[in-house]
Chain A
């Protein structure tokens, strides 16, 4: 067994999908939940748009296995969230009220995440896909009895773009594994804080000798 020392590093993994799953097919409920569970099992925190449907089902799965969930709301206050946007509070540990409406929230949501998972969905979900894509985020597209994954493949083909940061799979467990591998790869390029050698230049401020 691996002995872990020090604080755990958790991946911030966003789940994006339809608020109304009527068009998603019968198994979207269970697949969304399994995605939520795998995110937690593989050392992640689930982040979503604090909405109904697919993202809610993923948050349920995450809570099922004792994970942490964060929702970003388009509303400015809880009241606006409940009464105007008619969104739920369930299964979320923290809700951040962005007040930026849907498109603003989508931007903040994808930016706050290390990677984004795209489930079954329509225009709003495609918005989140394109925002993450533009920001160069690793994206995991869950394939299932819906058409969203095909729509995405189609868009990429037609734009003649091959993006190695966009991965596909039917199995939530494998998809999460693939995406985490992408995150780790991308992180290798960046430096942790102690590699900032600028501070070595400043000799005068050292007062830590006993």
Chain B
């Protein structure tokens, strides 16, 4: 019997528009409600009616997760707490890493000493969570099929393809900056009807791979010569891995001086375990390195810092030294402590290798602030501020553009989201003018009708 449900689908953009985080999209028809990502935007905030969500979590049938960043998964335990009784799907690595990130966040989701999240909430979320590897299509009911493709951004990160009535809508989540030192390149697709894509670097170009390595070398050498400390704050877990990998390569080839390197991030060792387990998804060069030498992320002079006490002990090591750290919400205290200590030191350097959101401490420093507020205190900044965008795990304008270009013949419409308004709108215009693709910067909270009829 033919499915009576309409071949028209409705897509609503509840979050992730005009910002880099807070990804939350609802795709539905009369018979099915599919949520794609349930991300944390800037911190937990309730709406006027006291709830976190603009829809009834109990009415959602399926949640599809693109990748395990707080900006995409942060609200999942809250969704489950608020009555979600559907199923969650992602790649296996995404689920594993998400568990770690949830555990890391419990401490941070406290209001007046009361935890808003418990381990039970996390366990409940994981209990309704199934996984499928890349390139394995599966049915989620009511005529909808799903397949995950590699978005090259993070271990397990996926482009979520939803197939309905033989037409496809793809959600890119965050797209990688290929070629990546570890991961395989982004999967190009050429049969997408509707595309919902990110645009973090929609109007910027990254430095080349050679340039970024040279810049890193130079920054390390200069800091060492000044006998300062090089801090490389990393909020996302995989940035630590990528920088470690690069430092390992530079160190092996004697291209950087021998100085102690501290990884100040309590979950790092666990993340590295997951990475080393999941190396089937690495590119061939990285796979070879893994097989040849155990411990691709381990080399002499590298010390993993687990406890808070050890974190303070770092200061006992004389300069020059390198501190990579602060990944995850539970490390915030530590990286704040490091920043407080080294920002006033003109011989030290702070190096940003990740996107710094508007208003963040990093962004303020990048824009030249000479005084910043840390925990309510004014801290003078005399430190050398450096930025290398080339290590970003997000593709730049060229990557994003090429991705769309591959599928431009089949595309009906592109929604450009997950980025600041300037980057998104710039990409919208370029896609329209150079490819003739109907790109749109959607309204936050806006709904759009999609035609899936043949």
Contact = CB atoms under 8 A, between A and B. Distances in A.
B436 A90 contact: yes
A97 interface: no
Nearest to B426: A22
Interface in A69-98: 88, 90-91
A127 interface: no
B12 interface: no
The winner among B429, B435, B436, B438 for most chain A CB atoms within 10 A is: B436
A60 B429 CA distance: 16
A57 B429 contact: no
B432 to A, nearest CB: 5
Interface in B222-242: none
Interface string A47-64: 000001100110010000
Contacts of B436: 56-57, 60, 90-91
A20 B432 CA distance: 9
Interface string A154-169: 0000000000000000
A29 B434 contact: no
A21 to B, nearest CB: 6
A88 B429 contact: no
Contact of A88 (B432, B434, B438): B434
Interface string A5-40: 000000000000001111000000100000000000
B433 interface: yes
Contacts of A53: 432-433
15 contacts: A20-B429, A21-B429, A21-B432, A21-B433, A22-B429, A29-B438, A52-B434, A53-B432, A53-B433, A57-B432, A57-B436, A60-B436, A90-B435, A90-B436, A91-B436
| Nearest 6 Cβ contacts at the A-B interface | A53-B433, A22-B429, A52-B433, A60-B436, A52-B434, A56-B436
Interface in B417-452: 429, 432-436, 438
A60 B406 CA distance: 17
A52 B435 CA distance: 8
B354 to A, nearest CB: 29
Nearest to B441: A26
Interface of B is mostly: helix
A22 B435 CA distance: 14
A57 B436 CA distance: 6
Interface of A: 19-22, 29, 52-53, 56-57, 60, 88, 90-91
A35 to B, nearest CB: 14
Contacts of B433: 19-21, 52-53, 56
A19 B432 CA distance: 10
Interface residues of B, number: 7
Nearest to A26: B440
A88 B432 CA distance: 12
Nearest to A54: B433
Contacts of A19: 433
A53 B234 CA distance: 40
Nearest to B438: A29
The winner among A21, A52, A91 for most chain B CB atoms within 10 A is: A52
Contacts of B435: 90
A19 B433 CA distance: 7
Contacts of A29: 432, 438
The winner among A19, A29, A56, A60 for most chain B CB atoms within 10 A is: A29
A57 B438 CA distance: 10
Nearest to A53: B433
Nearest to B434: A52
Contacts of A88: 434
B104 to A, nearest CB: 41
Nearest to A90: B436
B401 to A, nearest CB: 13
A21 B428 CA distance: 10
A36 to B, nearest CB: 11
Contacts of A60: 436
Given A21-B433, A60-B436, 6 more contacts: A21-B429, A29-B432, A53-B432, A53-B433, A57-B432, A57-B436
A205 B432 CA distance: 60
Interface in B95-145: none
Contacts of A90: 435-436
A195 to B, nearest CB: 44
A117 B438 CA distance: 22
B408 to A, nearest CB: 9
A141 B436 CA distance: 22
Contacts of B429: 20-22
B102 to A, nearest CB: 40
Interface string B375-406: 00000000000000000000000000000000
A19 B434 CA distance: 9
A90 B435 CA distance: 8
Contacts of B434: 52, 88
Contacts of A21: 429, 432-433
Contacts of B432: 21, 29, 53, 57
Nearest to B432: A29
A161 to B, nearest CB: 32
B200 to A, nearest CB: 20
A47 to B, nearest CB: 17
A99 to B, nearest CB: 23
A56 B429 CA distance: 13
The winner among B429, B432, B434, B438 for most chain A CB atoms within 10 A is: B432
B73 to A, nearest CB: 33
